[in-house]
Amino acid sequence: MEKPENPYFKHLENGKISILWSVFEGDWEDLTPAQIAEVLGCDPKQVSSYIWKIKKETGYEVPHISKRGRKRDE
């Protein structure tokens, strides 16, 4: 699937960049969810949850490395 337009808000009410937006928009194909979380300064479970949320809501699978070390992409 071709990457659709990012449907999520970029900025939160406090002016910070949304983690959900960042997970959708970023180039993560060489990182695990834990590494993505480290870059974004959040919990790895939150990143994994957002990856599933994006897939469920948009059909787009965020390219990343799974826990087992395999690349996850379209």
Structure tokens given for 60: 């787009």
Q: Which of 8-17, 20-29, 38-47, 64-73 has the lowest mean pLDDT?
A: 64-73
**CA separation (Å) from 55 to 4, 8, 14, 15, 23?**
11, 13, 26, 26, 11
Q: Residue 69: pLDDT above 80?
A: no
CA distance 52 to 39: 19
> What pLDDT does 71 receive?
56
Contact between 50 and 20 under an 8 Å Cβ cutoff? The reply is yes
Mean pLDDT of 23-31: 96
How many residues in the chain? 74
What average pLDDT is seen over the chain? 90
> What pLDDT does 49 receive?
97
pLDDT in tens, 37-61: 999 999 999 999 999 999 999 999 9
